[in-house]
Amino acid sequence: MVSVEETCYKIRSLFEEAVKRNLGEGILLSGGLDTSLVALVASKHVRLLNAFTVGFKDGEAPDVKFAKKMANYLKLKQHFIHYFDEEEAVKAVKDVVRIMRSFDPMEIRNSVTILIGLEKAKENGINTIMTGDGSDELFAGYSILFNLDKEALEEQLKKLWKWMRFSSVELGKSLGIEVKIPFLYPEFKTFAMEIDPSLKIRKEKGEMYGKWILRKAFEGSLPDELIWRVKMPIEFGSGSTFLTEKFNLKISDEEFFEKKQKYLEDDKVTIRNKEHLLYYEVYRSTFGPPKPDDPKKKTCPYCQANVPEKSDFCKTCGAYPV
């Protein structure tokens, strides 16, 4: 059996190569483990690495604090921090819905932050940018995986690997920016998939962590508060969760229930909450009601869009399980 030390060494060496093969002029830096590791390695090879961090100006945005710590640690001279306002976020919502062809609230809230970050990079002349995408899928970073037995964990990871897609790629294309994803470099990705799941989720100092072996591999290379930072979805790290509250206040209960019933009867689309409703109306005004490309194939019972046969998630409306 391969030791923890040998696995850590292999991760470090393969990741070094992965980043070198996927260098960009800039990085979307959240200050989380994944983007911090990419920045750590990239800063050795890019003469002037441009880092971009965004957060909502009127709310909690923990990513900004951690990204500043990371930029200071690496002595990055080009760290651009942008605080977006409500108007900017609402505009980004419309663009995200159009580009991603989705009205899934979690997808929208996360992607709003990514799109704004990419726009700031573009404004600063960046044409290639790195992200930390793929790490959570490869190394079991999601807390919903923590209590699964080994067999169930392996099954869920295989599903994640098969269906993972990252909005940064499509959003980048829409702006003419090439998105580089070091974690998906083939040799590194293959090795990560082969690592025993028991090394991916473990307790450390009494707390359960995903990506345990990845953290161990780089322990000592970054401050502990960055290596052991708890996984935080982009929407919480950037503060874009305010969109949920905003849209809950924008529409009355009476209007919500009326429209919810209308769209169920007319479009056969199930609306879950007020935020979902408003994203759907943006989607509907652009594309019309969702329809299956092939009615003979699996369709989502909540919005009628096609869903891959072995997938239990609808990327169009965000329904799970389907």
Per-residue confidence at 214, pLDDT binned at 50, 70, 90? very high
Same domain, 262 and 317: yes
Per-residue confidence at 111, pLDDT binned at 50, 70, 90? very high
pLDDT of 92 strictly over 70: yes
Same domain, 200 and 138: yes
Any domain includes 246: no
**pLDDT value of position 146:** 95
37 versus 205: which is more confidently predicted? 37
Same domain, 149 and 54: yes
Report the chain's mean pLDDT, rounded to a whole number.
95
Which segment of 81-85, 182-186, 237-241 scores lowest on mean pLDDT?
237-241
Q: d(Cα 243, Cα 119) in Å, to the nearest integer?
A: 19
Which segment of 125-129, 155-159, 266-270 scores lowest on mean pLDDT?
155-159
Any domain includes 37: yes
Which segment of 20-29, 31-40, 235-244 scores lowest on mean pLDDT?
235-244
Q: Angle formed by the axes of helices 33-42 and 4-21, to 10°?
A: 70
Any domain includes 283: yes
DSSP reduced 3-state for 242: helix
Same domain, 185 and 298: no
Q: Return the number of other C-beta atoms located less than 10 Å from residue 15's C-beta.
A: 25
CATH number at residue 13: 3.40.50.620
Number of domains in the chain: 2
Same domain, 309 and 205: no
How does pLDDT run across 132-168, given as a tens digit for each residue? Answer: 999 999 999 999 999 999 999 999 999 999 989 999 9
Q: d(Cα 135, Cα 30) in Å, to the nearest integer?
A: 14
Phi-psi region of 179 (alpha: psi -120 to 50; beta: other; left: phi over 0): beta
Token readout for 228 is 């052991």
Per the structure, the complete domain to which residue 43 belongs is given by 4-238
Global pTM reads 0.95
Q: Residue 260 is which amino acid?
A: K
pLDDT of 1 strictly over 70: no
Same domain, 232 and 85: yes
Same domain, 34 and 153: yes
Same domain, 322 and 225: no
Same domain, 128 and 260: no
Any domain includes 13: yes
Query: Is beta strand 50-56 parallel, antiparallel or unpaired with respect to 202-204?
Result: unpaired
Any domain includes 245: no
Same domain, 122 and 211: yes
Find all residues with CB under 8 Å of 4, minimum gap 6, and list them: 199, 213, 216
156 versus 1: which is more confidently predicted? 156
Same domain, 41 and 168: yes
How does pLDDT run across 225-254, given as a tens digit for each residue? Answer: 999 999 988 888 888 888 888 888 889 999
Same domain, 40 and 109: yes
